[in-house]
Amino acid sequence: NWATLFTSLWSFRVYKVYSSGLFNKYEQVDSLGNEAMLFDLGITVLANDYIVGGFKRNSIYYKTTCHEKNTTQICLFNFETKEMEPLHKFDFSSHEQLARSLWFLPSFKQT
């Protein structure tokens, strides 16, 4: 399984950036706390492990593509265990079909 092969290769470093005028200070972050990061969207969301289908806290969600097998794998990187967990594999016939992951975030606000 190609996703298993990449399990030991994936690792993430996250930095907090403090910006003050012309100078930026970078500090490495060892935890996302109660948040999860969605890589394709470039955002963090509040994670709640207790909601069915909710995001796992302290995790990064991302996508990998194997062009030779025409598959895309949605994965989770857990900061606590430092391990990658494959979540779902998609087969696709066209590279344009899954150029990006689509994330649907529910909103319970009435508009």
Query: Average pLDDT, whole number, for the chain?
Result: 70
Distance CA 44, CA 103 (A): 12
Burial-class residue 21 by CB neighbours within 10 Å (0-12, 13-18, 19+). exposed
What is the token pair recorded at 24? 């930026």
Distance CA 106, CA 111 (A): 13
Tens of pLDDT along 70-105?
A: 667 778 888 888 888 887 655 555 544 445 555 655
Distance CA 34, CA 32 (A): 6
More confident residue, 50 or 72: 72
pLDDT at 2 over 50: no
What is the pTM (predicted TM-score) of this model? Answer: 0.64
